[in-house]
């Protein structure tokens, strides 16, 4: 077989990039014999020239100017791995302007500036590849674009943030949110500033990308209903477990009967013995339901040096094949299609719900609460109590399906009752059927 060589320029040589170089050193022979491509790292831009690098950079020119790497005539494919949306955006746009394919793992960049980037890629017939931006090592974008291309996607339910899943797994064993976060930081899963992970921003970027590919509209992450896990109490994990559920930070992407899409990322009770419910620690799990295939489930490491490098390698091969076959013009990164009719308002999101509050230990208390919930149009499926202190009884209610607007009306009604402590916690409940 003729082997074609493509030279790679890295923007950034940190965690993921060093994993890519390492894997190319280790599996280069295998990759060439399998693909007919030789991928050679030739240049890299970093911030600190004197920092120790976690890979063998023999033969790689290292500098501090990202644009010099992009414009280097020896570089055929640009790999953007610095993160952020400032310099990263400039280098990606410049590479595309020059007609060079770009591989990136940067979900924030793709999510915020996808439309501009894909338009640039289409106009210069360069390609944009971003498999590593969602769910790390799980080839989920390829699954959506290729493996499931013949399906109308009914729903996607997904754990897309390993850090918050690790924290929730620890809380399921009784740790407080603060203790679980500290452990996640100690294990290297959470950043010093964990905001994007625990407040749902990271998962919401990824959910917007998945929804865009599934439904053919480019959805901005502002359109995602987003709620993180910062307020999660161990009491909720315990109540959920008592009923056979676990709480996960779940992306819920689905099309309604009118063809409108709703995208939400929020703590959600899921059956503890389901594939999503058993996705623990820093792992990601994604359930996609298509009208032809039915349910499919994807599981694996959603982040980390080597898992993410695996996805970057797959993109490098795709970029190389497109270059060698002259099909780069088909790789703008995103193709619009008529997979949905628009967005459904969040107030119409239809689901079962979990409600927790404390009530006074007095006669007819529950009758008042159930009446308030019923008056909001929400039907109750089960109620359970726990022994409480000071005459206040922690109470949990699971509901049948109702809209988010109805459950919020029920919240207001319960909060107004004198028999409750005025604090109501509500989470979505998804039986994943």
Ligand X SMILES: NC(=O)c1ccc[n+]([C@@H]2O[C@H](COP(=O)([O-])OP(=O)(O)OC[C@H]3O[C@@H](n4cnc5c(N)ncnc54)[C@H](OP(=O)(O)O)[C@@H]3O)[C@@H](O)[C@H]2O)c1
For residues 134 and 288, the answer to whether their CB atoms sit within 8 Å is no
Pairing state of beta strands 350-360 and 392-399? antiparallel
Residues that bind ligand X (CB under 6 A): 12-17, 45-48, 51, 64, 66, 81-83, 87, 105-106, 132, 136, 303-304, 308
Phi, psi of 186 (to 5 degrees): -65, -35
- Residue 328 DSSP code: G
Residue closer to ligand X (CB basis): 312 or 414: 312
- Minimum distance of ligand X from residue 49's CB (angstroms): 7
Q: Which residue has the CB atom at the shortest distance from ligand X? A: 14
Q: Is 150 exposed, middle or buried (0-12, 13-18, 19+ CB in 10 A)?
A: exposed
Neighbours of 398 (CB within 10 A): 19
Sign of CA dihedral 27, 28, 32, 35: positive
For residues 95 and 102, the answer to whether their CB atoms sit within 8 Å is yes
Where residue 136 falls (left for φ over 0; alpha for ψ -120 to 50; beta otherwise) is: left
How far apart are alpha carbons 339 and 81 in whole angstroms? Answer: 31
Residue closer to ligand X (CB basis): 45 or 410: 45
How far apart are alpha carbons 335 and 331 in whole angstroms? Answer: 9
- Minimum distance of ligand X from residue 104's CB (angstroms): 7
How far apart are alpha carbons 216 and 209 in whole angstroms? Answer: 10
Residue closer to ligand X (CB basis): 132 or 153: 132
For residues 341 and 217, the answer to whether their CB atoms sit within 8 Å is no
Pairing state of beta strands 225-226 and 260-271? parallel
CA dihedral angle for residue 365, residue 350, residue 218, residue 141, rounded to 10 degrees? 100
Q: Which of 4, 38, 100, 206 is catalytic?
A: 206
- Catalytic residue flag (residue 206): yes
Neighbours of 341 (CB within 10 A): 14
Residue closer to ligand X (CB basis): 66 or 228: 66
Residue closer to ligand X (CB basis): 66 or 320: 66
- Minimum distance of ligand X from residue 404's CB (angstroms): 30
Residue closer to ligand X (CB basis): 105 or 398: 105
| Residues recognised as catalytic | 206
């Amino acid at each position: 077989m003729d082997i074609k060589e493509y030279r790679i320029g890295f923007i950034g040589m940190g965690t993921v990039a060093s994993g890519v170089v390492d894997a190319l050193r280790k599996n280069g022979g295998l990759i060439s014999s399998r693909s007919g491509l030789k991928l050679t790292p030739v240049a890299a831009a970093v911030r600190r020239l004197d920092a120790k690098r976690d890979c063998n950079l023999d033969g790689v020119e290292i500098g501090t100017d990202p644009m010099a790497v992009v414009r280097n005539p020896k570089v055929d494919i640009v790999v953007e791995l610095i993160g952020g949306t400032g310099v990263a955006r400039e280098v990606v746009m410049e590479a595309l302007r020059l007609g060079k394919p770009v591989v990136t793992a940067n979900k924030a960049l793709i999510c915020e500036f996808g439309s501009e980037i894909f338009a640039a890629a289409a106009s210069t017939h360069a390609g944009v590849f971003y498999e590593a931006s969602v769910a790390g090592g799980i080839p989920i974008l390829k699954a959506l674009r290729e493996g499931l291309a013949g399906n109308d996607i009914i729903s996607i339910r997904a754990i897309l943030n390993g850090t918050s899943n690790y924290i929730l797994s620890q809380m399921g064993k009784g740790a407080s949110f603060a203790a679980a976060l500290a452990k996640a930081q100690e294990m290297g899963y959470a950043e010093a500033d964990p905001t994007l992970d625990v407040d749902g921003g990271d998962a919401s970027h990824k959910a917007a990308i998945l929804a865009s590919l599934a439904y053919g509209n480019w959805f901005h992450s502002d359109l995602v209903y987003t709620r993180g896990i910062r307020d999660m109490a161990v009491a909720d994990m315990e109540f959920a477990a008592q009923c056979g559920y676990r709480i996960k930070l779940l992306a819920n992407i689905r099309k309604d009967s009118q063809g409108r899409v709703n995208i939400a990322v929020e703590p959600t009770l899921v059956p503890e013995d389901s594939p999503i419910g058993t996705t623990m620690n820093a792992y990601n799990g994604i359930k996609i339901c298509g009208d032809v295939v039915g349910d499919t489930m994807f599981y694996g490491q959603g982040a980390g040096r080597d898992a993410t490098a695996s996805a970057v390698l797959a993109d490098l091969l795709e970029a190389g094949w497109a270059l060698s076959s002259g099909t780069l013009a088909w790789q703008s990164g995103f193709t619009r299609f008529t997979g949905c009719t628009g967005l459904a308002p969040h107030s119409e999101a239809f689901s079962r719900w979990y409600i927790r509050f404390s009530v006074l230990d007095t006669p007819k208390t529950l009758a008042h609460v159930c009446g308030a919930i019923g008056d909001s149009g929400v039907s109750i499926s089960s109620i359970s109590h726990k022994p409480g202190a000071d005459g206040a009884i922690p109470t949990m209610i699971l509901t049948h399906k109702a809209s988010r607007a109805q459950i919020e009306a029920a919240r207001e009604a319960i909060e107004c009752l004198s028999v409750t402590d005025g604090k109501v916690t509500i989470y979505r409940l998804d039986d994943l059927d």
